[in-house]
A and B are shown apart, each in its own frame.
Chain A
């Protein structure tokens, strides 16, 4: 039994449909990616999972049970625009939030200290939020979501606006939570994070789930339409080959767009006639490309 099971949920706001028949399952120790452009229905989905609003149709089950107030202690939420009281001290507000989720004051204090240590910011314990830099505020926001050790974590754009060092730090923390068996629902615009973290994803577009499943399986469904070529000498005449869509010359490598995989053989043949091949790779589509393709196609 997966800790989080969403079945065919539908949500209408008046005559506008915000989420239309979404189903997904997140198992223990898994990060599930929820992708979509702005307004695709991600936030509405997350709010339904959090029990803030109820789906019009379908059901959400937590460890097999329906939503109840007790679930609140089991859920951790990091909102997209993370919110904290600017003028309240870190320890006061985090312990307050932890207490609201059923933690004792003492346990909350310990948990907070442990997390601050992990993020190497122990000195912020008694500081006001407004005194901290943005990156450090986000760390505190993240701690607010996980301080009570929830089983199910919902992270909305967890890494947005962070510098690379802090992204790595938070990414490591999220991976750590995954490895300790948490169930994580994760939304983002940044595809490289998804490829690194998520096993399964759903791409939503205009309220509908359009692509769903295992990241590797999804990639396999999409044809490989890009060749990377590096040679010791310049190869000419690539543009005139049949089936070549574009040729882009980068500093050390040439990127060639093709209409189908057979064209790749012709390119290899053509290049071998002119130079020694240093690198030849038929590229898998990136999630970014898949995303733009699925979302873009439906835009028309």
Chain B
């Protein structure tokens, strides 16, 4: 047992001090910090500076007409955006100089002096409503155009309705939006918890993050374990190690050491995220977006930890087994491919089924050991799962982990002594028999 902890300590010390590890951790912490602050940053940038769009007021001639003139449409646009809390655009009236040339010069001057970011002209295309043309030094994307088109459309509708002589109520009725709502019910038709939109938003986010962390740590630490073992083998330290400490202690010491390292790293990521989320400016922004961590039920976190623990050891032992049969680091990537695909498969099933947590695929996957950490956790987070289902899934996962741990230990014991080309399963079995394992 003593040696086990010696191996654990050595693994942790070496890994946690490796430059590559420190650098990648710092980069991840930076990325997480930026990601959490991103909504706030975007918010800041977009709300501060709406695009100022100039338009001409009515010319003296137009002022006499009563029909829909460009200036009237412009005024309507201005009013519309002025009413918004964080408008993307601001329409600025520019006094008409009653001469096309002078107007043109005035608008271009305003544009070049920065007084406005763009100007709009309204051209008659022969229909009853003018076409709006934006003139600017930058390109307006489809989203901006669609935004303005929607506003223009409603203005057009209003003008058209005015001619029909509808009452105020009739107009309001026409403009009010239709609503679709959803309520979760169980099989006898009772509505389940009073779930507000915000909570499911938070759940969605939390499940997404947990799935991602799970995948990231399992893949990351798994690969590291395999790489370390292959490196020990190719640098032949392995020969000294196997004569100093039993392979079983060595393998599980490494897995456990790496587990602690991974745990510290994950804890650091989570702490970074939480600290950033708790910053006052972020808190309100996130809640505005419907993301409030404290509303996620605690049992989701508990199951997440349970699935993480067992899932980690399942993959870690297999990665160790694979690492032990490869002699050169160059061959490792290819050898761990099947494991990578298994993990990736489970991750994708979880990720892409978040909107439909009750499909047959997800239900089946949530009991298949290699997928269940992702699939079952997603179901717990997003859907309605019976307690026994979770218990069975965890049980199956646990048993598989034991079997895989035993198998990997056997492979490891044999693999570390085999050099040369990667053995086939048949050769491996032969070697196991020869070594009397």
Contacts and interface: CB of A to CB of B under 8 A. Distances in A.
B242 A52 contact: yes
Contacts of B236: 79, 81-83
Most chain A CB inside 10 Å of its own CB: which residue of B14, B18, B239, B246: B239
Contacts of A97: 240-241, 244
A173 B246 CA distance: 29
Instruction: Specify the main secondary structure of chain B where it touches its partner.
Output: helix
A100 B241 contact: yes
Contact of A85 (B3, B7, B237, B436): B237
B143 interface: no
Contacts of B242: 52
Contacts of A145: 240
Interface size class of B (residues with CB under 8 A): 20 to 34
B210 interface: no
Contacts of B245: 72, 100
21 contacts: A11-B434, A13-B430, A51-B243, A52-B242, A52-B417, A53-B436, A79-B239, A82-B236, A83-B238, A84-B235, A85-B235, A86-B235, A92-B13, A93-B237, A96-B6, A96-B10, A97-B241, A97-B244, A100-B3, A100-B7, A100-B241
Q: Which 7 A-B pairs have the closest CB atoms?
A: A83-B236, A79-B239, A83-B237, A100-B244, A100-B245, A77-B243, A81-B236
B417 A14 contact: no
Contact of B243 (A50, A54, A92): A50
Interface string B390-419: 000000000000000000000000000100
B340 to A, nearest CB: 25
Interface in A34-72: 47, 50-54, 69, 72
Interface in A241-280: none
Contacts of B240: 77, 79, 83, 97, 144-145
A101 interface: yes
Interface string A10-30: 011110000000000000000
A279 to B, nearest CB: 47
A93 B241 CA distance: 11
Contacts of A204: none
B352 interface: no
A86 B14 CA distance: 12
A176 to B, nearest CB: 21
A87 B21 CA distance: 14
B388 interface: no
Given A53-B434, A97-B241, A100-B3, 8 more contacts: A11-B434, A13-B431, A79-B240, A81-B239, A83-B236, A84-B237, A97-B240, A97-B244
A88 B14 contact: yes
Contacts of A100: 3, 6-7, 241, 244-245
B341 interface: no
A99 interface: yes
Given A72-B244, A77-B243, A100-B6, A12 B238 contact: no
Contacts of A77: 239-240, 243
A51 B243 CA distance: 8
B233 to A, nearest CB: 9
B45 interface: no
A53 B244 contact: no
A53 B435 contact: yes
Interface residues of A, number: 32
A75 interface: yes
Interface string A157-191: 00000000000000000000000000000000000
B251 to A, nearest CB: 14
Most chain B CB inside 10 Å of its own CB: which residue of A86, A97, A145: A97
A82 B232 CA distance: 11
A24 to B, nearest CB: 19
Nearest to A156: B239
Interface in A109-146: 144-145
A14 B237 contact: no
Contacts of B238: 83
A14 B6 CA distance: 36
A54 B3 CA distance: 23
A51 B244 CA distance: 11
A72 B3 CA distance: 12
B248 to A, nearest CB: 11
A11 B14 CA distance: 38
B35 to A, nearest CB: 32
Nearest to A85: B237
Interface string B102-133: 00000000000000000000000000000000
Contacts of A87: 18
A175 to B, nearest CB: 23
B331 to A, nearest CB: 18
Nearest to B253: A100
Most chain B CB inside 10 Å of its own CB: which residue of A83, A92, A144, A145: A83
Contacts of A72: 243-245
B246 A69 contact: yes
Contacts of A88: 14
Contacts of B232: 83, 85
A74 B18 CA distance: 33
Contacts of B10: 92, 96
Contacts of A84: 235, 237
A52 B235 contact: no
A63 B57 CA distance: 109
Contacts of A52: 242-243, 417
Contacts of A11: 434
B49 to A, nearest CB: 51
A229 B244 CA distance: 54
A70 B245 CA distance: 10
B83 to A, nearest CB: 64
Nearest to A11: B434
Given A13-B434, A97-B244, A47 B417 contact: yes
Interface in B207-258: 232, 235-246
